[in-house]
């Protein structure tokens, strides 16, 4: 079967905060892109999460839990 890929952007706004969250997620074992100006408009920096059909439900749940924790801070 072919692998299905979905890209989910999560707009953070602030470029420094976006980079910080991406770095902390990487420390937890997730590779999440930090997209910022000039690729996107100023103050519209975002995380770019790429999911594939190869990811396990447990991996997605862990990413969601870690991301929510970082966004609350």
Percentage helix, strand, coil for the chain under 3-state DSSP, each rounded to 5 = 40, 25, 35
pLDDT band, very low/low/confident/very high, at 55 (cuts 50, 70, 90): very high
In the predicted model, is pLDDT for residue 73 greater than 90?
no
pLDDT of 39 reads 97
Local structure of 55: helix, strand or coil: coil
Query: Considering the entire predicted model, what is its pTM?
Result: 0.91
For the chain, report the end-to-end CA distance as a whole number of angstroms: 40
Edge-to-edge, what's the strand order for the sheet holding 45-52?
5-13, 45-52, 33-35
């Amino acid at each position: 079967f072919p692998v299905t890929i979905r890209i989910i952007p999560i707009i953070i706004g602030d470029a420094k905060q976006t980079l910080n969250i991406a770095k902390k997620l990487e420390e937890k074992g997730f590779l999440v892109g930090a997209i910022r100006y000039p690729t996107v408009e100023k103050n519209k920096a975002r995380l770019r999460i790429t999911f594939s059909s190869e990811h396990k439900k447990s991996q997605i749940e862990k990413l969601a839990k870690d991301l929510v924790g970082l966004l609350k801070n």
